[in-house]
């Protein structure tokens, strides 16, 4: 079914709002995180150098030059630390004097519980563990960090997850799920509810366990868990290579967002 322009605009706004809810949600759990509203953007700073957790989410409509917003964020908040600039408006990041190949495009996809494709017979749901204690949080960080290889970013991701205690986990609005196999965590995923709308994030599988269908099964399981918690509509961001999984599940591509890492 063809979506109206107003429906698509609302979906893009909802994706951005849920993304900010997810990234800023860490400030409710970790005192090192801070959230600052700038003229033209929302900034989230983790207190360390990471473009996974340090986010500058541009307003979709702003009269300020994007370069000026980035410079203000750098000088007042991020300093010399790495951060990622996210845009939901085509042309914002492309206007910057940077190599255009450095700008990553992600498809914005949406679905609702009434129209999602049923899980095929024979494909089992994963047995998952909700992340509710520090050991589980460390395991979630290990799985997610593993997808970044041997890198500084992988180390920083692991450090953030390992730094959470029981109290911070209970305050974190992002819900993480883990799948274990062979005595270790092999897959993880997360979602965050905003009313009956859920954003899906960070579906990750250990490199050694990939190409066995774990990512697909984790996605199916996450949808089921989120629906049981009250989710009726979903949004996610997917690479062009990864969109096939979500397309087959009944998600529709409604637009795109763009990301540029600043180091």
Domain ranges of the chain: 5-107, 111-254
pLDDT at residue 38, rounded to an integer: 98
CA distance 51 to 179: 26
Task: Identify whether the C-beta of residue 249 lies closer than 8 Å to the C-beta of residue 236.
Answer: no
For the chain, which residues score pLDDT lower than 50?
none
Q: Please, where are the H alpha helices in the chain?
A: 5-24, 66-73, 134-146, 152-162, 166-171, 214-228, 243-248
d(CA 216, CA 220): 6
pLDDT of residue 227: 93
For the chain, the residue count is 263
CB atoms < 10 A from the CB of 219, how many?
20
Superfamily of domain 111-254: Gcn5-related N-acetyltransferase (GNAT) (3.40.630.30)
Q: What is the pLDDT of residue 107?
A: 97
- Per-residue model confidence (pLDDT) at position 152: 96
How high is the pLDDT of residue 125?
A: 74
């Amino acid at each position: 079914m063809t979506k109206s322009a107003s429906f698509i605009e609302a979906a893009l706004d909802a994706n951005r709002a849920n993304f900010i809810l997810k990234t800023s949600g860490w400030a409710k759990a970790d005192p090192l995180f801070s959230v600052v509203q700038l003229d033209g953007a929302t900034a989230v700073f983790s207190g360390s150098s990471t473009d996974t957790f340090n986010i500058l989410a541009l307003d979709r409509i702003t009269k300020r030059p994007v370069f000026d917003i980035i410079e203000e964020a750098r000088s007042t908040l991020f300093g010399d630390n790495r951060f990622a600039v996210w845009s939901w408006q085509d042309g914002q990041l492309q206007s910057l004097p940077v190599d255009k190949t450095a700008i990553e495009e992600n498809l914005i996809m949406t679905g609702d519980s009434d129209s999602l494709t049923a899980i095929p017979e024979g494909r089992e749901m994963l047995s998952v563990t909700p992340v509710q204690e520090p050991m589980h949080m460390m395991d979630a960080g290990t799985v997610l960090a593993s997808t970044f290889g041997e890198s500084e970013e992988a180390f920083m991701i692991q450090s953030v997850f390992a730094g959470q205690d029981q109290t911070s986990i209970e305050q974190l609005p992002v819900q993480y799920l883990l799948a274990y196999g062979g005595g270790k965590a092999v897959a993880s995923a997360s979602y965050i509810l905003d009313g009956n709308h859920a954003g899906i994030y960070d579906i990750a599988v250990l490199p050694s366990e990939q190409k066995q269908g774990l990512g697909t099964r984790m996605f199916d399981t996450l949808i089921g868990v989120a629906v049981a918690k009250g989710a009726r509509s979903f949004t996610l961001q997917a690479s062009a290579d990864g969109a096939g999984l979500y397309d087959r599940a009944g998600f529709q591509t409604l637009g795109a967002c763009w990301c540029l890492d600043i180091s």
